[in-house]
Amino acid sequence: MTTEEAAVKAPRTSLHGQWSSRMAFVLAVTGSAVGLGNIWKFPYIAGQNGGGAFVIVYLFCVFLIGMPVMMSEILIGRRGRRNPVATMALLGEEEGSSKHWRLVGSMSVIGGILILSYYSVIAGWTVAYVEKSVTGSFVGRSPAEIASIFGTFTGNWVSVAVAHTIFMAINILVVARGVERGLEQAVKFMVPALLVLMLVLLGYAINSGHFAEGLAFMLTPNFDALTWDSVLVAMGQAFFTLSIGMGAVMAYGAYLPAETSITNASAAVVVADTMIALLAGLVIFPLVFANDLNPADGPGLVFVTLPLAFGQMSGGVVFATLFFVLLTFAAWTSAIGLMEPAVAWVVERFHRSRAQAALMIGGLIWALGFGTVLSFNVLAETRFFKGTIFDNIDHLTSNIMLPLGGVFITVFASWVMCRNSSAEELGGAGTVYSIWRFLARYLAPLAIIFVFLKAVGLLPEFSGA
C-alpha cells in the first residue's frame, strides 16, 4: 500500500500540527498573501495596464473569482488534512471520483516551487536593500543615481545570487521549525508591523504634493490601455497575491481547526490583502509623479521610487531601513507558504523530518532560482517566447498554471465533492453557502476559462477591451 493510499484510511489529523487560533490562521494566510505581489508587483503592472481600469478589473477578479477559489482551496485542505497531492487523491476517492485528482495537487506544488524560484531572487533584492538603507546609500541621490544603484546591483549576478542564497537560507530555517514554532511566531509581528509602516508612508505620500495625481491615476479608468492580456494579467495577479492555485492555501487549510469559519477567515484575508495592494499603489504613484518617473517602469519600480523618496525625507535612513526589513519579512512569510506544500509532501511521502524536507526542497528552489538570477544580467539578452527566463516562468505560473489550478480546485469543491461535504466545511447550507456554490460552480471557472482562452488567442477578436 502506498503512502497516498494509506492516507485515505488514516485519521483526519495533520501530521504537522495546527494553528493555535483563528487569528493565527488569518495572519498566516494574510502573511502568505501579503508580500511582494502587493508592494512590488501590483503597482508596476497597474502602471503598465492603464491604472484605474486595471484596478477595477483586479478588484472584480479578487472578490468574485479569487475569494470563491480561496474558500474552495481551504475547505479541500481542511477536509483532507494532508499535503495537496495526498489530499486531492484522498478526497477524489472518498467522493466517488478518482485518485487521479492528485495531479491537480501536483500542479499546485510544482507551481509553488517555480514561483518561489524567482520570488526568492526578487526577495533577495529587498535583503540587499536593507544593507543599502542602513549605510545611507539613498540619501540625497537624484532619480538617475537611484536608478543606477539598482541597475548596478541587478547587473552583477554574484551580488544577486548571494542575496538569493541568504533569503532561501532564512526561509528554510523557518519552514524547518514547523507550524507553531516557526511561521506562527513570525507573522504575529510581521503582518501588523508592515501595515503600520505602509500607513506612515501613505501619510508621507499625501504630503508629497502629487497625491491627487497619483490618486487619479489609480482610480481614473483608462480603458483604451486595457486589453484582454491586461485582464489575464489582472486575474493572474489576483491568484498570485492571494496565494491561491499554488497549494499554499490548501496546505494551510489542512492545519485549520474544525471550528474556524472558512468564510470569515477568507473574507478577512481578501480584504487585508486588497487593502495592502491599494495602499502600495497610493504610496508609490504620488512619489512616481513627484519625481517625474514612469509608472510603467516595470519590476524595478519599488526599488527606484521608494529609495528616492526615502533619500529626500527627514529620517529617511531609518524609514528606508524599516521598510526594506519589513518588506523582507512580508516576502519571507509569503515564501514560507509557497514552500510548505512541497515540504509537507516530502515529509508524508518519503517519511523525512521537516528539517530534511526543508533542505531538499529549499535546495531545489535555490538551484532553479539561478535562471532568474541570470535573467537580469548575463542572460538578459537571451529571450524566447515571452522574454527572459524570469519572464517565461512568471508568465507560465501566474497566467497559466495558477488560473488552471483555480478552475480544477473550484470544479472539484463545487461539482465533485458532494453537497453535504462542502456544506459541512462551510458551516451549513445557508445563504453564504449558496452564493459560494454559485460562484464556484459557474462564475469563477467560466470567467477564468474565458479570459484564458481569449488571452492565448483561441477566441475571436471583437470591439472593446
DSSP annotation string for 325-376: HHHHHHHHHHHHHHHHHHHHHHHHHH---HHHHHHHHHHHHHHHTHHHHHHT
Here the CATH number for the domain that contains residue 285 is: 1.20.1740
- Asked if the structure places residue 464 within a domain, the reply is no
DSSP secondary structure letter of residue 133: H
Q: CA-based angle 184:440:50, to the nearest 5?
A: 80
Q: 422: which 3 cell numbers? A: 462542502
- Asked if the structure places residue 14 within a domain, the reply is no
- Asked if the structure places residue 10 within a domain, the reply is no
Q: What is the reported pLDDT for 306?
A: 79
Domain count, the chain: 1
The per-residue pLDDT string of the chain (465 residues; one tens digit each, 9 = 90 and over) reads 444 444 444 446 766 667 767 777 787 777 777 777 777 778 878 888 888 889 899 998 999 988 999 999 999 999 999 999 999 999 999 998 888 999 999 999 999 999 999 999 999 999 999 999 999 999 989 888 998 999 999 999 999 999 999 999 989 988 888 766 666 777 777 778 778 878 888 888 888 778 998 888 888 888 888 887 788 888 878 877 788 888 888 988 888 888 889 999 899 888 888 888 888 888 888 878 887 777 776 667 778 877 887 888 778 898 888 888 878 877 887 888 889 899 999 999 999 998 999 999 999 999 999 999 999 999 999 999 989 999 999 888 877 888 888 899 999 999 999 999 999 999 887 899 999 999 999 998 988 888 777 666 676 654 443
Q: CA-based angle 340:342:347, to the nearest 5?
A: 90
- Asked if the structure places residue 29 within a domain, the reply is yes
Q: What is the reported pLDDT for 336?
A: 86
Whole-model pTM: value is 0.85
Q: What is the reported pLDDT for 326?
A: 76
Domain of residue 214 covers 22-455
- Asked if the structure places residue 133 within a domain, the reply is yes
- Asked if the structure places residue 100 within a domain, the reply is yes
Q: Which residue has the cell 498573501?
A: 33
- Asked if the structure places residue 150 within a domain, the reply is yes
- Asked if the structure places residue 15 within a domain, the reply is no
